[in-house]
Structures are given as C-alpha cells and as structure tokens.
Chains A and B, each alone.
Chain A
Amino acid sequence: MKPLKTVTTLVFFSLLVALPIFLSSYYVGLMILMLIFGIFAMSLNILVGYCGLPSLGHAACFGVAAYTSGFLALKGVHNFWLEAAAGVILSLVVAAIFGFLVLRTRGVYFLMITLALSQVLWGIAFKWTSVTHGDDGLSAILRPDLVFIPLDLFNTTAYYYFALFFFIIATVAMLLVAQSPFGLTLKGIRDSETRMRTLGYNAWIYQYVAFILAGFFASIAGILSVYYHGYVGPSDLHIVTSAKVLLMVILGGAGTLIGPIVGAFGIVLLENFISGYTERWLLLLGLIYVLAIIFAPQGIYPPIKRKVYKWLTL
C-alpha cells in the first residue's frame, strides 16, 4: 500500500502542476476554483473529520477574510501581504469569538448554532451598506500586487500557480496535523471525550485550537477567492456556501486527507458542467446531493479507494 500511495500522490501533484500548460484559460480558471474549494473543504475537515463537529457556518471565516481583504484593496492599500494579513487576523478574531459560543454544544446543536451565527454575519454584510455595499457586494477588486515577488497575477495561469502554492501548503499542513500528537488527541476526543478527559486532556482547549485552525485555512481560501473573482458578496457568507462545503467534506469522505479534496474537485466540476448544459442545474444538483447521500453515506472517496487498491494490487 505504502509505495502505491506515494506514486498516486506524486501523479496527482504533477498533474496539478502540468495540466494548466495544456488547458485554455477557461479551464485553468475552473482549476483555480477547485483549488480554492479544496483548501476550504480541507479546513472544514479539521472540524468535521477530526473533531466530529459538523459546522454549518464555516463560510463565516471564508467570507470575513474575503470582505476584509477586498475592502482594503478597494481602499487602495496595494500590498497583498498587508491586505491578506488583515483578512486572516479579522477572521481569526471571528473564529475565536464563535469558538467560545459554539464549543459548549455538540452534535445537532453545534450545527444549528454555527449556522445561526454565520447567518448573523450574512445579515451584517447585507445591511451594512456603507461598508459592504449590501446585496451588490464589493466588486472590481484588482488582482493583488505581491510587492517583493515578480509574479503578474493578472495572468490566469500565474494566479493558478499562486493558488496551487497555498493548496500544497494546506495539504502538507493537514497531513502534519493529522499525524501529530495534536491531531491524534483530537481524534481521541472525537471518539470518546469522557475517556480523554479522564486521561487528563483538556478537551475544550484542543477543540478550541482546532476551531481556530480551521478558521485560519478557511480565511486563506476566502482571500484566494476574492482576488480571483474580483468580487465578494453576501452569498460568500451564506448558508448555501456553508452547506456546499460541508457537502464536499461529507461526500468526499470526512476524516480522510484526500476525501475533502475529491469532494471539492468533484462538486466544482459538476456544478460547472451541469450549469453549462441546463438552466435547471439547481434541481439536478439537489437530486445529486440526495442520491449521493443515500447511496454513499460515508462519502465517495473511501469506496473508490478500496476498489482502486483492490484492482491495482490484484
């Protein structure tokens, strides 16, 4: 299994590096979206997969970072690192406050409360028109100026490699977290909180740190998104975005490293494919969600993985 894993990983990443050279800029744009949602889904996987905490408000950190960076960019800061740092910091503050409120609850309550809190932010984005421009959102945000690095992000392919850089960092970080004592402790708390408490672990602190860590990676995805689209609107904070990323994690397979990536890539492709062919894409998407959850309740990645390995190691 082990060498096989290394080979698949290498093939996967070389494809990610090489593909844009052969694709038109439309498909490169699509791949950028896949990377952004890949990071977003991996960040939520820290909560859903490793902590067993199903957040339905993960768009909060994504959207807050996107709004902050976009707002500063429009105000003429012209320094990507300053804009991004402000976005990350503000969304960490949000995660730190929300973490206090939501981690007192578990299961369905956790789901509901994360949903309600993130909808508050959506409400603010919708109503605070002097800052957020309400329903119109912030638009005409230019690609960032990287200051020290001579990379012209107005070129879509360049932006792709910029996003890929963060995607690889996030993937490696997830791998390290999952194997670290910290990640193992999280899984222990997920499986039996009482037992871990008896062993002397402060469950709350571990989950609080995980909540903030998840917020951190979501904010990176949010920042990549706002500069790619040149736009951020209330829909980036909406329950539909939160639910979409949760579906990516669950459909891909929560608690695995690859699952959320598979889920994110699959759903971005699917959405794009269906909406190109029919106006009724929302209906089809809903049907696909329903069917996928009925027939692959543990996600699509684990069964695919089993089949592929069986076939390869025949």
Chain B
Amino acid sequence: MNFWLVQAINGISYGMLLFLLAAGLSLVFGLMNIVNLAHGSYYMLGTYIGITVYRYSQNFFLAVVGAAIGLAIVGVLMQRFILRRLYGNHLGQVLLTFGFVFIIADISLLVWGGYAQNMPAPSFFKGATTMGGVTFPTYRLLVIGVGLLVALFLWWFQKGTKMGVAVRAAVDDEEMSQSIGINVPLTTTVVFGISTALAAVGGVIGGPFIGAYPGVEHEVLLLALVVVIIGGLGSLRGAFVGSILVGLLDNFGKALFPELSLFTIFAPMAIILAIRPSGLFGRAL
C-alpha cells in the first residue's frame, strides 16, 4: 500500500512537471499550428540559467524567476524575428525550430560544459514529510503545488482575461479575429513567450531530480510530445490529463518493469491513437 502511494505521488509530481512543458507546447500549436521541436531545448536552457542564478544568489525563487524571464526573452525574440518570417510554412517552421535545437545545444555545451548538473532542492523543502503513516519527499509536494498553481493560472488566463479570450478567438478563426480588431501577431508572441517561460520554470523546478545534461532536451521533448498526442493538441485540459497519465505510467513503468519502461507509455499511446487519432480532448481531424 505504502509503495503504491509513494509511487503515485512521484508519478503525479513528474506529471506536473510535464504539464509545464506540454501546456506551452499545446498552446503554441493551437495558435501557430506548429510543433516547436526546440521546446525541450528551452527546458534545458532554463535549467542551466536557473542553476547559474542559484550559484550566485543561493536563492531558489530567484533562480526560477531569472530562468523564466531569460527564456521569455529568448522565446519572444525567436518568434518575433525568425519564426514569423515563415508565416504559413508550417513544415519550414518545424524544421527551423530543429535548427535551434542544434544552436542551443552547442551554446549550452560551450557555456556549461558536458557534465550533468543538478539543481539543489531549496532547503525549506528538503527532507521528508509523513502523512497518515506514509513518508515521501517534501519537494515532490512542492512540485505538485506549483503544477496546480500554473494550471489554475492558465485556466484563469484563458477564461478570465481579455488576452485569453483573444487567444481562444485566434485559435478558432484567425482571419475573423483579425477583422474584429484582435491583434493576432501580438497575441501569438505573448503566448509564445509564456510557453518558453513555462518550459524554463519546469526545468528549474525539475532541476533537483532531472537536472540538465546534453541530450536531456530530446528526452523531455519526447515525453511532452507523448502528452500532447494523448491529450490532444491545442487543449489545455488535454495537456493536464495527459501529463498526469504519462507521469503515472512512466513512474510505475520504471518501478515495476524497468527494462520495458518506455512501453508502459507508448503502448497506451498507440491504443489511444488507434481509437482517437486526435487525442482524448483534441478536435476531430
């Protein structure tokens, strides 16, 4: 019983981390109809920046904020000056983002070297918490809390703010939104910035148990892609449900069948694809 509960907490906290990535990936897809292959690279770059900020300030909160701001700037610049030039050429945009994967990987290697680096967990959340006779790492609870907060924030952003209404309108019908005075290019840039910042937050918060190393960008990108394939592209709810599902599948897979761990994620993905090609909450193709 204990084992199942601890693994479930670990799985959900991992899922929340994936949600930070998948939500941005999914939102950007909804607006620009591209899959941003550099999303894992933002995650990695965010982690590195967070680790560096932490090294100088010894402040976990500052590390999160610094990485988020840094990556928001990177994202806005990239979308504004490069991706936008290829308006309408989706395949070109996708490949362009892969060019960025190379560039970011090499710059990171140059600046931070090839060794794996970990973020120390903030001292306040170190140690273990015992609840009802079950003991688990306190930090995992923090990750779940942050994930839920971000989910709430995004939900409020989409439903409660004018910008969010504009986003939903632009996803539904771009031309019509333009013609009633919504600034779609600006909306897209803002959403892109939010998505890269979220990836960075995920990187720093996941830092204590995933960390940053050359190649991590492909691993997290793959998991984030699986989340949006399962949940459905462009759907926030899909990203949330998909993240928890993938987090749990991955964690129980690794704990129960270590040699087959990838299959516990991909077999359900294949089944869902076979039944609903557009994912659980995606629009029909």
Instruction: Mark each residue of chain A from 285 to 299: 1 if its CB lies under 8 Å from any CB of chain B, else 0.
Output: 111111001100100
Category for how many chain B residues contact A: 35 or more
Among A115-123, A219-227, A304-312, the stretch in contact with B: A115-123
Q: Are A111 and B35 in contact (CB under 8 A)?
A: yes
Max chain A Cβ within 10 angstroms of own Cβ: one of B37, B86, B106, B266: B106
Which of chain B's residues has its CB closest to A54's CB?
A: B91
CB-nearest residue of chain A relative to B277? A104
Bound together, the chains give a CA A289 to CA B274 distance in angstroms of 34
Q: Which residues of chain B are near A104, meaning CB under 8 Å?
A: 273-274, 277, 285
Check A297 against B86 for contact (C-beta < 8 Å).
yes
Interface centre among B29, B86, B273 (most CB of A within 10 A): B273
Q: How far is the CA of A286 from the CA of B217 in the complex (A)?
A: 15
Within 8 A of A (CB), among B88-105: 89-92, 94-96, 98-103, 105
A117 to B267, CA, bound (A): 10
B226 CB within 8 Å of chain A: yes
Pair B99/A109 contact, Cβ less than 8 Å = no
Is A105's CB within 8 Å of the partner chain B?
yes
- CB-CB contacts below 8 Å: A55-87 with B: 56
B-contacting 9-mer, from A24-32, A38-46, A175-183, A238-246: A238-246
A247: Cβ under 8 A from any B Cβ: yes
The B interface, classified by DSSP as helix, strand, loop or mixed, is: helix
Residue B228 CB within 8 A of the other chain: yes
Contact A294 to B270, CB < 8 A, known contacts A112-B228, A283-B102: no
Binary contact readout B247-285 vs A (1 if CB under 8 angstroms, 0 otherwise): 000000000000101110010011001100110000001
Q: Are B218 and A116 in contact (CB under 8 A)?
A: no
Check A289–B99 contact: CB distance below 8 A: yes
A264 CB, nearest partner CB in chain B, Å: 15
Q: Is the CB of B95 within 8 A of A101?
A: no
CA gap between A123 and B218 in the complex, in Å: 12
Supply 11 A–B pairs (Cβ within 8 Å), ascending by A.
A54-B91, A101-B270, A104-B277, A108-B33, A109-B285, A119-B218, A123-B262, A286-B100, A288-B99, A289-B96, A293-B86
- Residue numbers of A with Cβ under 8 A of B are 54, 56, 100-101, 104-109, 111-113, 115-117, 119-120, 123-124, 127-128, 238-240, 243, 246-247, 250, 280, 282-283, 285-290, 293-294, 297
Q: Which residues of B contact A (CB under 8 A)?
A: 29, 33-35, 37, 82, 85-86, 89-92, 94-96, 98-103, 105-107, 109-110, 218, 222, 225-226, 228-229, 233, 259, 261-263, 266, 269-270, 273-274, 277-278, 285
